[in-house]
Amino acid sequence: MNPILTTAWKAARKAGQMMHRASSNLNNIKIDNKAANDFVSDVDREAERIIVSTIQEVYPQHAILSEEAGQLGNIHAEYQWIIDPLDGTTNYLHGHKQYAISIALLHKGTLAEALVYAPEHNDLYVASRGQGALLNDKRIRVSSRIDLLRSLIATGFPVVDQSMMNTYLAILKDVLAKTAGARREGSAALDLCNVACGRVDGFFEFNLKPWDVAGGALIVQEAGGIVTDMQGEQAWLDSGDIVAANPKILAQLLQIFAPHLAV
Ligand code: IPD
Ligand code: CA
Ligand code: CA
């Protein structure tokens, strides 16, 4: 691992140990509602404190965008970290093991480095632009499946901002009819990593935030996958509407979406 990923890994490992320890006493965790269906706990905040301080110690001149703390440092800085200290908070608070830490680094606005760590599975996904993607030190690739009818698709429900709910449900109905099935596992970062290592053939979700997707998206790209928004364009980091898949499945998913998104 290069020095940037080594620092990210040091931060994620410390935060992951804390999260795992705290998960043995879920009743003691203080939980606040940010909005309906949107929770933040002491564990999210403590994980963020650990990750941000570890990165700032080594790279004090870098800016950071982190879910709970917001923008730290100059938004126009050459290097900008994007951090989700706990992706899958709802799972975590229920003792469900599908949750992760996501850390990405933009260099001059382009995703350069990514790390996603799932403490309960001890799975570490990393990618550096142009260098491929690894899961626990082994090279990963997106699936080679081309037949949509045999494909397994991950997704997330739009429960926080429900403005897209009807469109989403119509799309999901179509996806269920035209694929082998869909999964909603509750961590967008891990959904993307599952695309990257071929456990699912594609993923789509509306209204995500940059910290949900920045890390996982680079890992998909470096594993040979494609990431777009619902129209097949590159606005996904800003809009939060994202599709990720191997190239053949992505094209077929976009064809399913198109009639639902036409105005
Ligand atoms: C959530 C997870 C979930 C997705 C939500 C996100 P959080 O992140 O990624 O899979 O469906 O939209 O908000 O709140 O647990 O960090
Ligand atoms: Ca998240
Ligand atoms: Ca989070």
- Sequence ranges of the chain with CATH classification 3.40.190.80: 148-261
Nearest atom of ligand 1 to the alpha carbon of 189: 9
Topology, domain 3-139: Fructose-1,6-Bisphosphatase; Chain A, domain 1 (3.30.540)
Is 95's pLDDT higher than 90? Answer: yes
> What would the pLDDT profile of 143-163 be if each residue is shown by its tens digit?
999 999 999 999 999 988 888
**Which pLDDT value is given to residue 35?**
79
Burial 25-37, CB ≥16 within 10 A → b, else e: eeeeeeeeeeeee
Ligand at shortest distance from the CA of 96: 1
CATH architecture observed for domain 148-261? 3-Layer(aba) Sandwich (3.40)
Residues forming beta bridges with residue 249, ordered by sequence position: none
Q: In what order do the strands lie in the sheet with 138-139?
A: 70-72, 63-66, 79-87, 100-107, 110-118, 123-128, 133-135, 138-139
- Sequence ranges of the chain with CATH classification 3.30.540.10: 3-139
> What would the pLDDT profile of 10-29 be if each residue is shown by its tens digit?
999 999 999 999 999 888 88
| Pocket of ligand 1 contains residue 254 by CB under 6 Å | no
Cβ atoms within 10 Å, residue 238 = 9
User: How many Å from the N-terminal Cα to the C-terminal Cα in the chain?
Assistant: 46
Phi, psi of 239 (to 5 degrees): -80, -30
Q: Tell whether 84 is in a known binding site.
A: yes
Pocket test for ligand 1, best of 101, 187, 205, 213 (most atoms within 8 A of CB): 187
What is the DSSP code string of 225-247?
-EEE-TTSSS-HHHH--EEEE-H
CA gap 234, 236 in Å, rounded:
6
Is 263's pLDDT higher than 70? Answer: no
**Across the chain, what does the average pLDDT equal?**
96
> What would the pLDDT profile of 131-143 be if each residue is shown by its tens digit?
999 999 999 999 9
Is 182's pLDDT higher than 80? Answer: yes
